[in-house]
Every structure is written in C-alpha cells, then in structure tokens.
A = this chain, B = another copy of it.
C-alpha cells in the first residue's frame, strides 16, 4: 500500500483543518465525538408531529432506512408520532421546500463501507429547516448520528438549536474489537454494540473469531473447525451475512480476525494433524498463552488455510483480513525436531523466522483472494510482506517501528478497555500524540485505532458495561481534532452520551440492579439496593491482568456474577473525592474544602456500617466484600485523622505518618478482585498532614 495513498486519505480526513467550536450556550446538547467545527446560531428548530424528511439528491434504500431509524428513535424519546403510509413507512416530504430535514447526498457510496471514504458532512440547523449535506452516504449517516445527539427537550418541547456544523474524521480507521471466543457473545450483543458504535461514529467492527477457547464461525469447507471447536456457539454464515449487512447499514466495516498460527487450540480439536505437537487437543478453558500452534511446515496446513480463508474472503466483503499472529510462544515448534529441521533447511534462523515465512505463505493466499493482511505487532519482521497493516498492541514503539518501515498501522495499545483503566487514560492516548516524533510520512501511515474488548471476564450481561461508555471517549479521540483534550469536559459530556447509548439499546447501566439483586441473593429493600449501588460505584475492578492473579482457578465456566462484575472502571465518586482532596490541599485552611472531604469520608464510613449491619450480614455472596467494607471504614478513620492534623497543626508523633501509611497499604489490598480507588487520595492527605508546615 503506497504511502501517497494514505496522504490523500489524511487530506480527505481533514487532518489539516483546525477545529472551531463556538458554543453560544453551555445548555446546548452535548456532542461526542466533538465535531471539527461548530458555530451556534440564533434560535431553535422545533420538532413537531408534522416533521418530514426530504432528499434533494442521493436517496437510496440504505439512507431511507437510516432516516427511519432516526425518526423512530425520536418518536420513542419524544412521544411524538410522525406520519406514515399504510405500509408503515414514514411519509417523505412532499417537496424539499416543505421538508423539516433536507438531505443532499452527492454520490452513491459503495455497497460496503471502505477505508478512506469521504465521511464528511455539513449540518445546518435554522429555525425554519435542517439541512444535511454530505459527499457520500457515509457522511449522511454521521450527520444523522449528530442530529440524534443534538435533539434537546425542555418544558416547551423538543427542538434542535440552530447551528452550523462542518465535520469530518481525523482518522479513517476507528474501531472496536470484540473477542467472541473466550466468552461467546451472540448476535444480539453484537448488534446492539453496532448501534452504539454508529452513534459515536466508529466505523470498524473488528471481530475476533478464533481463539484457543473457541472457533466461532461456521466453515462449510472444514466443518470440524466450528463443529468441534465451539461447543455449538458460533455464527452461521447466514448470521454473519446478516451482521455484515447490519453493520454496513450503519456505515461500519466488519474486519474478521482468524488468529494464527498461535492461539489456535480450537482449530486443532477437529484437525489435530495440523498441530505442531501430536495432540489430541481439547478446547482450552483457562486464560493465558498456550502452546498449541499450527504446523507451518505441513502443506496440509496451507491446504486448510487456502480453503478456509478463501471461504472467509468470500463471506467478508472488507478488503482487510486480520490474521492475529500474536503471542506465539514457539514451545511446540522448539520441541518438534521436524519443524526445527525445516527451519535449518530453509535458513529461517529461528522460530521468528519460521513465523515470518508462515505469514508470507498466508499473505500469498490472501492476495490470491483479494485481501490485505492485518496482524498484531509480532508480525513485524524483516520478511513481512509489503502492504500488510501492523496492529500495535504492545506499545507506541510498535507504531514508530512499523511506520518507519513503511507499514500502515492501527493503534490499540492504550485502548485495552478490558484492563479497566479510567476513561481519561484512553482519551489522552493519541495515535499521534502531541509532540510526536513521527515524520509526516510516518504520520500518514497511522490509520487510526481500535478499542479492544478481550472477553476473559465478560458475559453477554456485563459486556456492555465494560465497553461503554469509555469507548465513546476513544471514539472522540479517533474522530475529533487532536486538540480536544479537556478531561473534565469529556467526563461531563460522557454522561449525556451514556444516556443516548442506553436509548440505542445498550444495557451498560440497566444490567446493574439485576446483578446486584442476584449478588445479594437474599431479599433487599430499595434502600439497601441504593447502598449496594453506592458501594459498587465507589469501587473498581482490579486493573491490568490482576484479576487473573486474584482468581487463578477461573475458567470459561466461572460465573461472572460477583461484586467485581458489578463494579465498573472509573469510579465517579472516587474521582470527585480526588478533586475534593486537590481543592483541600491547594487551600488547606478552607473550612469549606475540609467539610467536603470530611463529608465524603463520613458518608462512606456510614455506608460501610449500614451494609455490614444490614444486607451483608444476611447475604452469602456479600461475605466477600466484608474486608472491603472494613477497609472503607478504617481508611475513612485514617483520613479523618489526617484532616484533624491538617486542621490542628502537628502530627501526634514523629512516626504517625509512617504508621498510617503502612496501615493504609495493608488495607488497600484488593479483595474479590475489587479495589478501592480512593486510597491514593487518602495517602495524599496523610502525606500532606505529615509535611513540614510553612
């Protein structure tokens, strides 16, 4: 893929345009991602039951369906009803002049979304009319997504504030990867996430279809792949076509991943002869890096790949096909004398060389079927075929190295939403960060990024709450101008978009109460449910790969119904507490600042006491939160002590702080794979109390 092609792409994406956001009122609807340019005008366009949509140019079935979805969402939100004909279709405007919304679409888009298409749109809302112009249907879809967020209600009714928005994406590849292998995620889960993606203008669903723990796509040529590798949980090809069409309707490409040569246990259950060790193989049930790996020295392996990838190339219309390539530990290759002999014979140097040789063979298959190869970091080897795309997961160096060698790249390092980092971390993680040392040519090879939802610890019930709303902030990073880095403002807008995402069908908020009722296991009063909600709002799942360390015996069958599954990343109360401590430490003698911190500590201690005396004392499963509640109360007491010292002057003794910090460290240990994210703020209170006074 020649570099100049990407330069054109970036021009099309508007990377050279500076953003202009001229808000005339803070009461305007919140948008996420922020548009490239927004100019508020005077007045509002009022939504009435007579509202109709007209196309000036470019109407097609896909856009008609998109308009119908927008109108239906507005009906369900507003309670208004727009006119329909007897077939149930919304009546179009009689003519452009009388239309409430006029759409101008300059040219037909390809049937399936393509990387680098013109996705720009212009939206002009006046009190008289709404006009949406785009070069392609894809831009129209984005404009409708903006409109969906821009509709606002107050006691006087529903309206769209007058505005002129000129918008286009910064990056062309804005993805969400969903791993449907480790825990199976059926069609409805994917569909509702596609609806959510469209709302925040993500345009790539990267679907991770094969893993040690499951082979999730029907193969008609090699049926033992899904029959023996999936426990019966896989997408039929009909279902996948349905999903691809559903995604295309929303302007979203579907890029499939078939992970090879490692992460391939499930392939080998039905075809053990293609493994690098004798087998037999059974579907892997645990988490980690495993030894089973395809045998790249066996010509039968390529016969299977030729057949299977050919089948998949026909099924998936997108030109990009992800072959994984990560975490091949080489154990079975090293242990196999025939394979080692092959390496020597072909002068491949080592296992890495064999892996690159394998990639070259696979690439040839892909090229024959009209596909471009995408793979994780590890595919980057001197022999990587030109035109491949490197998907960087291990660190920003991956981007630098790949682009230096002329490969296009996608960033996922920093977007691993399964690791439970706070939204702000992902938001500030830029594929081309401020002050990047990438040359312009290298920058032009950075296609975008993908949030990655690995599914060791998610069920269909919890997955929405792990992906959202954080992924909306990643979507903004990939769509909006690089200068959009105001974190508090992002968090404020995230609350609005979260509500819109729920309306689009996600269960990321509503899953919680049923989960808490089940967790309690005994009848809970409404007040107790409020307390449980307050508790899980205050805690967070442990981060990075700590959950696996906390729950080492976990398997694919472990119920994901514990307190950790009710907790979500990025506790808002803990963030507010940090802000309160920041304010206090800036101004330690302010009684108001002390009172805020004091009040939060007291309320948590009281919450912990109520829970322990109430529902926790009755519930079998809530026994696991006992140590966390103890820690909340003790930490609260330590914080109160520190406040006393800050107010009163001197610590009681020289080693007071050391003792408190040691105590804090002890009680800050996670339990039940859950941690207390306000602990660092309490540590700062102690340190401030112990610091020499001015």
Contact = CB atoms under 8 A, between A and B. Distances in A.
Given A78-B521, A514-B509, A558-B81, A154 B618 contact: yes
A289 B84 CA distance: 22
Contact of A518 (B76, B521, B558): B76
Interface string A139-175: 0000000000000011111100000000000000000
A188 B187 CA distance: 11
A78 B620 contact: yes
Contacts of A155: 617-620, 623
A496 to B, nearest CB: 7
A475 to B, nearest CB: 20
B153 A77 contact: no
A530 interface: yes
Contacts of A557: 75, 81, 84, 88
Nearest to A459: B76
Interface residues of A, number: 51
B513 A499 contact: no
Interface in A486-511: 495-496, 499, 502-503, 509-511
A30 B83 CA distance: 50
Nearest to A553: B81
Contacts of A33: none
Q: Tell me the number of copies of this protein.
A: 2
Given A510-B513, A523-B495, A558-B81, A620 B76 contact: no
Contacts of A285: 86, 88
A409 interface: no
User: Which among A79, A157, A522, A621 has the highest number of chain B CB atoms within 10 Å?
Assistant: A79
Nearest to A522: B153
A287 to B, nearest CB: 15
Given A188-B188, A503-B518, A76 B495 contact: no
A440 B153 CA distance: 63
A442 interface: no
B514 A153 contact: no
Contacts of A328: none
Contacts of A495: 523
Contacts of A621: 78-79, 153
Contact of A81 (B78, B502, B514, B559): B559
Contact of A153 (B81, B509, B521): B521
Interface in A116-160: 153-158
A153 B188 contact: no
Interface string A398-441: 00000000000000000000000000000000000000000000
A561 B77 contact: yes
A347 interface: no
Interface in A197-214: none
20 contacts: A76-B559, A77-B561, A78-B620, A78-B621, A79-B559, A79-B621, A81-B559, A84-B557, A88-B285, A88-B556, A88-B557, A154-B620, A156-B620, A495-B523, A499-B523, A502-B518, A503-B514, A509-B514, A510-B510, A510-B511
Listed from nearest, the 3 A-B pairs whose CB atoms lie closest are A153-B620, A153-B521, A86-B282
Given A81-B558, A188-B188, A503-B514, 14 more contacts: A76-B559, A76-B561, A77-B518, A77-B561, A79-B561, A79-B621, A87-B283, A88-B557, A154-B620, A155-B617, A155-B618, A502-B517, A510-B510, A510-B511
